[in-house]
Amino acid sequence: MTAAPATRLLALLELLQTRRQCSGAELASALEIDRRTVRRYIAQLEALGVPLIASRGRDGGYGLVPGFKLPPMMFSNDEALALSLGLLMARGLGLAESAPAIASAQAKLERVMPAALRAQARAIDETVKVDANTRTTLRDNRALSLLSTAARAQQRVRLHYRSAIGEDSTRDFDPYGLALRSGRWYVSGHCHLRQGLRSFRLDRITGVDLLPASFLRPTGFDALAHLTESLANMPRSQRAEVLLCASLDDAKCCLFPELGTFEPTPEGTRLSVQVDDLAWLARELSRLPFAFRVIAPEGLREALARHARRLGEFAR
């Protein structure tokens, strides 16, 4: 549902209060409006007596006069719902000592909420349950905090890492971004030890040191997309090709993205997979609600036939 103009006007004011200065492009992107509407909202704030500073330039920049303070926080119903659900989801993110921090944040928010919104927030906390499927919990949040700060500042770090088999290593690393995938935190970036793009699990990082060196992050880098693609293309013992009789969207909806690479074709979607166990892949394919055709290898056809016979025995 489209946000009301009054809601967006308040949101713009909150952004200006939080940041010292915002360009017209940044405000338009954050509020999902065009720049002309941003200028109209700025004019409305000035008409209401809000002291603003506007700077000229390609995009133009806006800020509040230093020292200006907003009244105490006020939340709309939608904002209260978003905050309550966000805090609820945060409990499943695998952060260290998250429970007391979340409880403290919720208590602070409730203190500034009207009674009706406070009741709504407590109702969500007491009745909504979220399966976040967190597999690991970080020992502390220092690595997450340092790496996200370094990624934003494009500052190189020295990473101390312990592998799955307990081997320790140290490497210089350019963190491009972080992602939470399947219940685990990862950081992706350029590894100077391996001279390539790599991803590392945060729960295996034993130390992070900031270095006096900078780097240039690739434009538009998406840590989650990179991580998904990396998992899909990990070398396995066998390669399989399957033509799925479904659209690309339907295929991705029924199969998890890191299974392999999905390519749209005139006949449907071509799935390229690397696996160690063809019997496992046969079981995954057999649960699909649409038809498919095995292109290769022959072993996958045989695995599907064996699985079909096994299911037939269960039906007797």
Task: Evaluate whether 5-64 and 233-314 have a shared fold.
Answer: no
Count CB atoms within 10 A of the CB of residue 128: 11
Fold of 142-227: SH3 type barrels. (2.30.30)
Fold of 5-64: Arc Repressor Mutant, subunit A (1.10.10)
Could you tell me the pLDDT band of residue 1, with boundaries at 50, 70 and 90?
very low
Could you tell me the pLDDT band of residue 276, with boundaries at 50, 70 and 90?
very high
Could you tell me the pLDDT band of residue 204, with boundaries at 50, 70 and 90?
very high
Residue 178 is predicted with a pLDDT of: 92
Residue 91 is predicted with a pLDDT of: 73
| One-letter amino acid for residue 285 of the chain | L
Taking only the tens place, the pLDDT of each residue in 281-290 is 999 999 999 9
Has domain 233-314 been given CATH number 3.30.70? yes
Mean pLDDT of 137-164: 89
**Among all chains, which residue has been given the structure tokens 């685990």?**
184
Taking only the tens place, the pLDDT of each residue in 15-46 is 887 777 888 888 888 888 888 998 899 899 88
Biggest CA–CA distance in the chain, Å, is 79
Could you tell me the pLDDT band of residue 197, with boundaries at 50, 70 and 90?
very high
Domain boundaries, the chain: 5-64, 77-127, 142-227, 233-314
C-alpha distances (whole Å) from 131 to each of 88, 134, 220, 238, 280 are 10, 8, 30, 33, 25
Residue 47 is predicted with a pLDDT of: 87
Mean pLDDT of 298-315: 93
Look at residue 251 and give its three-state secondary structure: helix
Assigned token pair, 202: 């945060």
Yes or no: say if 276 and 236 are a contact pair by the CB < 8 Å rule: yes
What is the rounded end-to-end Cα distance, in angstroms, of the chain? 51
Sign of the alpha-carbon dihedral angle for 125, 129, 132, 137: positive
Model pTM? 0.62
Nearest to 230 by CA among 187, 278, 195, 282: 187
Yes or no: say if 258 and 249 are a contact pair by the CB < 8 Å rule: no
Name the percent of the chain lying above pLDDT 70: 90
Look at residue 235 and give its three-state secondary structure: coil
Phi, psi angles (nearest 5°) of residue 274: -120, 125
Phi, psi angles (nearest 5°) of residue 245: -85, 65
Mean pLDDT of 53-71: 75
What span, in angstroms and rounded, lies between the C-alpha atoms of 204 and 221?
23
Of 10-24, 143-157, 233-247, minimum mean pLDDT range: 10-24
Yes or no: say if 301 and 311 are a contact pair by the CB < 8 Å rule: no
